[in-house]
Amino acid sequence: MTIKQFRVYAPASIANLGPGFDVFGVALDGLGDYIKVKRVSEPGVRIQIKGFEADHIPVLAQQNSAGAVMNAALDRIGDSVGVELEIEKGIPPGAGMGSSGASAAAAAVAAQKLMGFELPQRELVKLAAQGEAAVAGSAHADNVSASLFGGFILVGDGYDVVRMETPDIGFVVVVPDVKYENKTKMARELLPKTVGLKDAVRNIGFASRMAAAVAMKDPILFGKSMCDSMIEPHRAGMIPNFHLVKLAALQAGAYGCSISGGGPSVFAVGENPAEIGKAMVEAFGDTKSKIYLTRPSNLGTRLV
């Protein structure tokens, strides 16, 4: 390893997108994490964190998504050197915008730089997913893949990822002031072990339409395909006034609205995201919330 210091940026993401549980993801513009990577002589991974909720994010490498990825990479390299990571959180943790996934993606790309060669796509995704496994208990790859490659992604078996350019459409993410410990793990535990055939068929239909919308660059069909019969009903209870918030978004002109990742944020797409977001905030009632206006990003993780 000859590289001594560099900086990496990884965008935020929204996973699932309604019917695409653990399969669909999209990268977001203007929201992301930075990681400054410094090679040091003392073995191991040391972490400093600043930005969103820095005091609440673990600095032990094995408990941090970026640290877990870098640990795995150093084991693979087999070099008796160490790395210092300075993580600047630009994505609020636990909000459903791929905060841990972005840090993991940034660390995976940083690891490539340290190794001096590019990993095959599947190996890069698998490495980044180890960060999600460390903090969420599941090596799901939808968020990390969207952050790594940008655009709209579909995750297949064995970390095989298909990427397409995302239609240009306004996104609004509204983050309610609701905190859950181990939120991702809790959100997964709410899910049923089996689903009904009717619900499965409905989700397959909407997921197929969403993929077609992306291929056709049709933002309206993209939004109208955000319908979920399998996951959303079970996670809606985590979110205050969820059904009212969704109704308010659609009445304000949103093409579609759903839970952002594992929640508790709710996102919508449409031509007037500011007005849609305002209606959603009002529907949250007494629960304070924050609006993030963004668009899809077709750029993924990169050195800056």
For residue 184, what is the domain's CATH number?
3.30.70.890
25 with 149, same domain?
Answer: yes
**Which of these three, 123, 143, 165, is where a domain ends?**
165
State which residues form the domain around 195. Answer: 170-294
Determine, yes or no, domain membership for 197: yes
H or E segment to which residue 258 belongs:
strand 256-259
304 occurs within a structural domain: no
Q: In terms of domains, do 75 and 95 share one?
A: yes
Same domain, 161 and 175: no
Name the one residue in this structure whose structure tokens are 């993401």. Answer: 13
- Does residue 303 sit within a domain? no
Does residue 302 fall inside a structural domain? no
Confirm if 240 and 176 have CB atoms less than 8 A apart: yes
Tokens 């903090």, located at residue: 135
Contact 125, 139 (CB under 8 A): no
Do 153 and 36 lie in one domain? The reply is yes
Confidence at residue 21, expressed as pLDDT on a 0 to 100 scale: 94
299 inside domain: no
Q: What is the pLDDT of residue 187?
A: 79
Number of CB atoms found within 10 A of residue 103's CB? 37
User: Which of 146, 165, 184 delimits the end of a domain?
Assistant: 165
Query: Which residues are paired to 14 by β-bridges?
Result: 26
Could you tell me if 96 and 129 lie in one domain? yes
Q: Does residue 300 lie in a domain region?
A: no
In a 10 Å sphere around its CB, with 0-12 CB exposed, 13-18 middle and 19+ buried, how is residue 42 labelled?
Answer: exposed
Q: 109 and 221: one domain?
A: no
What is the reported pLDDT for 79?
Answer: 63
Domains of the chain: total:
2
- Which of 165, 192, 219 is at the close of a domain? 165
> How big is the chain, counted in residues?
304
Residues 15 and 132 in one domain: yes
One domain, residues 15 and 158: yes
* CB-CB contact of 93 with 261 (8 Å): no
Q: Under DSSP, is residue 154 helix (H, G, I), strand (E, B) or coil? A: strand
Q: Looking at residue 137, what is its pLDDT?
A: 80
pLDDT at 77: 72
Task: Report the CATH number that the domain containing residue 105 is assigned in CATH.
Answer: 3.30.230.10
pLDDT reported for residue 150: 98
The CA distance from 148 to 51, in Å, is 21
pLDDT of residue 80: 72
Whether residue 132 sits in one domain with residue 24: yes
Residue 271 in any domain: the answer is: yes
- For residues 101 and 29, the answer to whether their CB atoms sit within 8 Å is no
pLDDT at residue number 4: 79
What's the pLDDT at 179?
A: 81
The reply to whether 250 falls in a domain is: yes
Tokens found for residue 276:
């849609």
Distance CA 20, CA 208 (A): 9
147 and 15 fall within a common domain: yes
One domain for residues 75 and 58: yes
- The letter for the amino acid at 210 is M
> Does one domain contain both 61 and 111?
yes
pLDDT tens over the chain, length 304 residues: 456 789 999 999 999 999 999 999 999 999 999 999 998 888 889 999 999 989 989 999 999 999 999 999 988 776 677 899 999 999 999 899 999 999 999 999 999 988 788 899 999 999 999 999 998 888 889 999 999 999 999 999 999 999 999 999 999 999 999 887 777 777 778 888 899 999 999 999 999 999 999 999 999 999 999 999 999 999 999 999 999 999 999 999 999 999 999 899 999 999 999 999 999 999 999 999 999 999 999 999 999 9
pLDDT of residue 268: 98
User: Would you please indicate which residues are annotated as catalytic (active-site) residues?
Assistant: 132, 184
